[in-house]
Amino acid sequence: MIKQDKYEYIRPQNLKDIGDEIQKIIDYKRYEKLKDIVEHINDYVEAELDIFPSDEIYELMINAGDFD
């Protein structure tokens, strides 16, 4: 069943928003929007890597005493 009210894609800002957008895509059968959400997820993944290099997480954990 396709929902009859208006579909509006909103760029997700967190994991809950991503889940909500995927559910709307399913409900409204707007599968062409999957490309948009995948692009936005990839943007967030790239930004996360730039902000938090993989070796930096261990350094932060050591400094916080997580390995004592």
The pLDDT value recorded for residue 3 is 65
**Is 53 among the domain residues?**
yes
Structural domains counted in the chain: 1
Q: Which of 23, 49, 52, 53 is nearest to 37 (CA)?
A: 23
Residue 22 lies in a domain: no
Consecutive 10-residue averages of pLDDT for the chain (68 residues) = 74 86 90 90 75 64 70
In a domain, 9, yes or no: no
Print the domain residue range for 63: 32-68
Would you state the pLDDT for residue 35?
92
pLDDT at 20: 92
Q: Per-residue b/e over 30-58, b at no fewer than 16 CB within 10 Å?
A: eeeeeeebeebeeeeeeeeeeeeeeeeee
